[in-house]
Structure 1
Amino acid sequence: MSSLTRPIPTAGGFAHLAGRPAVWATLAFAAALALLPFSDGVFHTLFPELQRPLYTRASFLDLALSHAALVGAASLVVVSVGIGIGIFVTRPAGRDFAGPVDTLTAVGQTFPPTAVLALAVPVIGYGGAPTIVALIAYGLLPVVSATIAGLNAVPVAPVQAADGIGLSPAGRLLKVELPLAAPVILSGVRTSVILNIGTATIGSTVGALTLGSPIIEGLSGSNPAYVLQGAILVGLFAIATDLWFDELEHTLR
């Protein structure tokens, strides 16, 4: 398309984009990342008893990028494995495994992430790897449950129509069942990702670089300013991500 025929964004289009809560939450998160390094005076006023009220061991941007990378890596595994398991146990060959799968994923959800870290560190060492293992164990249940619920809720009529036109089981799954179940599956993915954004903060207890680093150091060193700085960033990150999932769910529905 030439520059003469390419649509030009209108003021109304920009206003519609600016009116989305997800955009404002993302801008607030970006502003916090940019301004916190220069907020020493603000936190000194809030906590005058502290000699070092601003966290400086690592940049807030580095913490955020590392945090996002850990959550993203774990979520990629969770979504791939969780949807795969959900599909398997809703097929005739896998229905007998639905009970054990539900039990195993529920155990992973109820098992404390700190316990997973404690078990993983002696095997794979300190840093991001045990954190990812804990996030995978903790985030699997919502995706598996949502996938099973979404596929089981697909109406019979479209499935019968797909069989009537000669679609193979794989074709029926890809072209009919998964598209119809997508909003429910996405809600499970959304829950898993938001949970893991908060859970990833404990990875700093085993040497991972996350937005929980100032929180952990603040708690151990009785520095509430550090805790507040980390909590602000984690909260804004989770809110922005949740609102973007809301936009995506609205589009799918």
Structure 2
Amino acid sequence: MRIGAILRPALVLLLLALVLKPAWFTPVFAPLAPEGAPVIYARSSLLSLSLSHLGLVAAATTAATLVAVTLAILVTRQAGEAFRPLSRTITNLGQTFPPVAVLALAVPALGFGAGPTLVALFLYGLLPIFENAVTGFSTLPPTTMEAARGIGLNRWQRLVQVEVPLALPVMLTGIRLSVVISLGTATIGSTVAARTLGEVIIAGLLTSNTAYVVQGGLIVGLFAVLIYDALVQLEAHLVRRTGG
């Protein structure tokens, strides 16, 4: 789903206003707050929570991308093809266990804070990146690969100069899915003391303050929509460059 040229800047401005000037929205959220309760979440800076939230997602997605793409490269080589089922099983682990279960298992080992959340996001993000990377490397044009061999490129050169650029648009689709999943999943990290926008939502649930819940959910939703749209634009640009 692409955002229109007019709607995109409007959503960006709305997101910036919600994060930087939340008090502007007091009249909007006031009907959702219990009588006498605060309307705008002010226990922590929404900007710092947003940056921490995005930082966790970026770190987990980067790690998941490195691991998943490396596995995809290995299992799409003739020597590693036999390990494809095992690799698929490994990357499926994150989808097998709910994020809450991963957090519960990780806390005793890593303690409270960002660590368990990073583990949960990493495991949850592996599968879409791996599957799309395998598809990308498995569907390369045979004529292009033959031409790369014909001009004398060795295996490493073919991988870096030909295979990765051609497979990148497909891989980016998996990364896009992983990022959107992580943006939503990261909110539960606040249950184990990670600094995320889930702190706002959980505070609202604990105090029956719907204004907090809507405020936190709206910011997370806007981040997801805008980042998804940006990655769609990047993917389309890469497709045009590679002639796909």
Q: Same fold (TM over 0.5)?
A: yes
Counterpart check, 1:174 vs 2:160:
yes
* AA of the residue aligned to 1:113: P
With structure 1 as the length reference, what TM-score do the two structures score?
0.88
Q: Deviations over 1:127-182 (max 9, x none)?
A: 11110011000001111111000000101111111111111111111111111111
In structure 2, the residue corresponding to 1:53 is in which secondary structure? Answer: coil
Counterparts of residues 25-40 of structure 1 (less than 5 Å): 25-40=11-26
Once structures 1 and 2 are overlaid, which stretch shifts more, 50-59 or 156-165?
50-59
Once structures 1 and 2 are overlaid, which stretch shifts more, 45-54 or 59-68?
45-54
Name the structure 2 match of 1:5: none
When residues 170 and 24 of structure 1 are mapped into structure 2, their CA distance, relative to the original with a 3 A threshold, is farther
Counterpart check, 1:92 vs 2:78:
yes
1:39 Cα deviation after fit: 3.0
Structure 2: give runs of 5+ residues left out of the alignment: 240-244
Structure of greater Rg = 1
- Is the CA contact (8 Å cut-off) linking 1:44 and 1:50 kept in structure 2? no
In structure 2, the residue corresponding to 1:39 is in which secondary structure? Answer: helix
The root-mean-square deviation of aligned C-alpha atoms, in Å, is 1.6
Name the structure 1 match of 2:229: 243
1:94 Cα deviation after fit: 1.2
- Is the CA contact (8 Å cut-off) linking 2:32 and 2:209 kept in structure 1? no
Q: Deviations over 1:55-98 (max 9, x none)?
A: 11101111101101111111110111111111111112211110
* AA of the residue aligned to 1:197: L
- Is the CA contact (8 Å cut-off) linking 1:50 and 1:223 kept in structure 2? no
Structure 1: give runs of 5+ residues left out of the alignment: 1-17
* AA of the residue aligned to 1:132: L
In structure 2, the residue corresponding to 1:116 is in which secondary structure? Answer: helix
1:236 Cα deviation after fit: 0.4
Once structures 1 and 2 are overlaid, which stretch shifts more, 112-121 or 175-184?
175-184
Give the Cα separation in 2 of the matches to 1:192 and 1:119. Answer: 22
Name the structure 1 match of 2:126: 140
Counterpart check, 1:118 vs 2:109:
no
Identity %: 46
Name the structure 1 match of 2:172: 186
